[in-house]
Chain A
């Protein structure tokens, strides 16, 4: 599903050059649940961002669902992300000015859909994460766990084949974290969604199919 070949990411300033990722190659199969672990600053999030086409590598190539992404322009990349990828962030990144339902509908705004369709799909996604009764609420009226569930609903509403989760349980206590993990596992098992998750938590990582470890930008496992 996702092929990374010799990915390198270098951050340059006028005086310093930092190698954030060093020749990473990964092949993630369709329906796989993969976790990425490593100490802070080892390049986990950078790798996830590159996989999600939010950032570009300095070297190497990314192929997603047999499509090369190197030469995609802004509009094509936006469309590709919209259809193929769903994101879950550690700090949720919900838009506080919009209701839960409007937040979940957001990815659908960027594809051809009617308001009615958007509403229906968003409601279904919220039902899936158990938040159908919080549709009219605003993010700042929700707990951390509920916010993350809204973020999951937003990630799955467009029915993407891949979900990229950057420390989705990082801001939650263990009970909430387990709840979120259960939802992700269900998505993977029932819907066959490919999930790549960055985590610091060994327990969470061991629940996934495969674990990749990074250290100083290199893959060590």
Chain B
């Protein structure tokens, strides 16, 4: 039976090449977009270089001050003092990597300007992150405390600044007219790893901003590393309790919010949340709505194409019914045919996805980003295909199965 359905499905696909092209294009294009988006999501959620301990890391970013009566909000990154004084008072974390946002500075090589993003970090930064050191080593706590002008640069900065030189450790890099001694070279961190992405890393004690300021807001963020994943929730509770006790230090502001979130939740909070709102519900609604709309258009398109295709086959439906096919059997047949179509579209989708991911990785569009097509994504991709096949096949199949036999036979 299935073999017969398969033969028919393939024959129908070959018969109307334009319809087939539109259907397959719709399925494979939608799937490609979904797969690429999922690969991005996968990159955000799962541990990726150099954020390899993402599953037991919590991220402290913004400090939000509010005047609840007037509705004023002042939201900014944390100060170094805020992180060391309050977040640093927690007992449970193993380490805390503190780093500033990446600030753009200029370096010149042969009169050519190179923009270098500098991150000012503490020494624990190198223990929390898992950077691959291609040359040299990270700076130590004493070097940080002494404010030594040392730097760890990334591979692309080495290439841009020093060219093809083999070993640059011990050499100097001049950025914004300040010379730093290079003590290490690391593999580039991707832009998607905001806490770690930069072109050059130097001790926070060299920061141009006032890292000694006791205000709550500044230019820093922290990655808090828990001993195990079991500690994550406990650390979050500890941190919430600490934050509840922190005074706003401002007459105008009466509320202070700061959160220790997982990596994914941090991104969600930054985009959809505010103050006490994590933004997760809004995120889920947004994503569900977006996926629904994104899937709806190709599905409606497929439903229409399927109805046209099926109605062209009225005579066949009439014959099948006359010779003993029940409505249920016919619905089954057309759904199977549609699933065959969507699986073929799915295979093309996977091929296009691999090509697209390869192109994105090679284009260098996003610094250091390396997207991969993993088996989980592949599985969900095929699941999406089957769902597509079902959704877009059920209604046309049901309509077709209700066709009057005599009218169907006359249709030829």
Cβ of B309 within 8 Å of any chain A Cβ, yes or no, is no
Q: Report which residue of A87, A93, A115 has the largest number of chain B beta carbons within 10 angstroms of its beta carbon.
A: A93
A89 / chain B contacts, CB cutoff of 8 Å: 409
B370-412 vs A, Cβ < 8 Å mask (1 yes, 0 no): 0000000000000000000000000000000000111001001
B340 to chain A minimum Cβ distance, whole angstroms, is 14
| Contact B412 A93, beta carbon cutoff 8 Å | yes
| Contact A115 B323, beta carbon cutoff 8 Å | no
Roughly how many angstroms separate A93 CA and B315 CA in the complex, as a whole number? 7
| Contact A109 B406, beta carbon cutoff 8 Å | no
| Contact A91 B328, beta carbon cutoff 8 Å | no
Cβ of B324 within 8 Å of any chain A Cβ, yes or no, is yes
| Contact A110 B15, beta carbon cutoff 8 Å | no
Cβ of B241 within 8 Å of any chain A Cβ, yes or no, is no
| Contact B406 A54, beta carbon cutoff 8 Å | yes
| Contact B8 A93, beta carbon cutoff 8 Å | no
Cβ of B113 within 8 Å of any chain A Cβ, yes or no, is no
A74 / chain B contacts, CB cutoff of 8 Å: 326-328
Cβ of A97 within 8 Å of any chain B Cβ, yes or no, is yes
B314-345 vs A, Cβ < 8 Å mask (1 yes, 0 no): 01101111111111110000000000000000
Roughly how many angstroms separate A109 CA and B398 CA in the complex, as a whole number? 20
| Contact A93 B405, beta carbon cutoff 8 Å | no
B8 / chain A contacts, CB cutoff of 8 Å: 95, 97-98
| Contact B409 A95, beta carbon cutoff 8 Å | no
| Contact B325 A78, beta carbon cutoff 8 Å | yes
Residue of B nearest to A80 (CB): B324
Cβ of B110 within 8 Å of any chain A Cβ, yes or no, is no
| Contact A81 B327, beta carbon cutoff 8 Å | no
| Contact A95 B319, beta carbon cutoff 8 Å | yes
Roughly how many angstroms separate A106 CA and B324 CA in the complex, as a whole number? 9
Cβ of B12 within 8 Å of any chain A Cβ, yes or no, is yes
Residue of A nearest to B327 (CB): A74
| Contact B7 A93, beta carbon cutoff 8 Å | no
Residue of A nearest to B326 (CB): A78
Q: Report which residue of A49, A75, A82, A106 has the largest number of chain B beta carbons within 10 angstroms of its beta carbon.
A: A106
Roughly how many angstroms separate A89 CA and B320 CA in the complex, as a whole number? 13
B246 to chain A minimum Cβ distance, whole angstroms, is 71
| Contact A110 B325, beta carbon cutoff 8 Å | yes
B298-324 vs A, Cβ < 8 Å mask (1 yes, 0 no): 000000000000000001101111111
B399 to chain A minimum Cβ distance, whole angstroms, is 15
A90 to chain B minimum Cβ distance, whole angstroms, is 10
| Contact A82 B323, beta carbon cutoff 8 Å | yes
| Contact B328 A106, beta carbon cutoff 8 Å | no
A91 / chain B contacts, CB cutoff of 8 Å: 412
A86 / chain B contacts, CB cutoff of 8 Å: 323
Roughly how many angstroms separate A89 CA and B328 CA in the complex, as a whole number? 24
Roughly how many angstroms separate A94 CA and B316 CA in the complex, as a whole number? 8
Q: Which of B1, B325, B406 contacts A49 (CB 8 A)?
A: B406
A25-62 vs B, Cβ < 8 Å mask (1 yes, 0 no): 00000000000000000000000010010110000000
Q: Which of A55, A94, A115 contacts B406 (CB 8 A)?
A: A55
Roughly how many angstroms separate A116 CA and B55 CA in the complex, as a whole number? 56
B326 / chain A contacts, CB cutoff of 8 Å: 74-75, 78-79, 110
B11 / chain A contacts, CB cutoff of 8 Å: 97-98
| Contact B323 A102, beta carbon cutoff 8 Å | no
Roughly how many angstroms separate A83 CA and B324 CA in the complex, as a whole number? 8
Cβ of B111 within 8 Å of any chain A Cβ, yes or no, is no
Q: Which of B12, B315, B322, B404 contacts A81 (CB 8 A)?
A: B322
Cβ of A207 within 8 Å of any chain B Cβ, yes or no, is no
A97 / chain B contacts, CB cutoff of 8 Å: 7-8, 11-12, 15
| Contact B4 A55, beta carbon cutoff 8 Å | no
B67-108 vs A, Cβ < 8 Å mask (1 yes, 0 no): 000000000000000000000000000000000000000000
B318 / chain A contacts, CB cutoff of 8 Å: 93
The verdict on A110 contacting B323 (CB below 8 Å), with A93-B412, A97-B8, A98-B8 known, is yes
Q: Which of A49, A55, A75, A81 contacts B323 (CB 8 A)?
A: A81
| Contact B324 A107, beta carbon cutoff 8 Å | yes
A202 to chain B minimum Cβ distance, whole angstroms, is 26
The verdict on A75 contacting B322 (CB below 8 Å), with A54-B405, A54-B406, A98-B11 known, is no
Residue of B nearest to A45 (CB): B406
A98 / chain B contacts, CB cutoff of 8 Å: 4, 7-8, 11
| Contact A75 B3, beta carbon cutoff 8 Å | no
The verdict on A54 contacting B322 (CB below 8 Å), with A102-B7, A115-B3 known, is yes
B319 / chain A contacts, CB cutoff of 8 Å: 93-95, 106
| Contact B1 A109, beta carbon cutoff 8 Å | yes
The verdict on A102 contacting B406 (CB below 8 Å), with A78-B324, A78-B326 known, is no
| Contact A95 B329, beta carbon cutoff 8 Å | no
A88 to chain B minimum Cβ distance, whole angstroms, is 10
Roughly how many angstroms separate A79 CA and B323 CA in the complex, as a whole number? 9
B220 to chain A minimum Cβ distance, whole angstroms, is 68
| Contact B323 A87, beta carbon cutoff 8 Å | yes
Roughly how many angstroms separate A79 CA and B324 CA in the complex, as a whole number? 6
B9 to chain A minimum Cβ distance, whole angstroms, is 9
Q: Which of A166-214 contact B (CB under 8 A)?
A: none
B405 / chain A contacts, CB cutoff of 8 Å: 49, 54-55
| Contact A110 B329, beta carbon cutoff 8 Å | yes
Q: Which of A105-126 contact B (CB under 8 A)?
A: 105-107, 109-111, 115
Roughly how many angstroms separate A52 CA and B321 CA in the complex, as a whole number? 11
| Contact B329 A52, beta carbon cutoff 8 Å | no
| Contact A102 B324, beta carbon cutoff 8 Å | no
Roughly how many angstroms separate A95 CA and B318 CA in the complex, as a whole number? 11
Interchain residue pairs with CB less than 8 A apart (13) = A52-B322, A54-B406, A75-B327, A78-B325, A86-B323, A89-B409, A93-B318, A93-B319, A105-B4, A106-B319, A110-B323, A154-B323, A158-B323
3 A-B pairs closest in CB distance: A82-B324, A97-B11, A110-B324
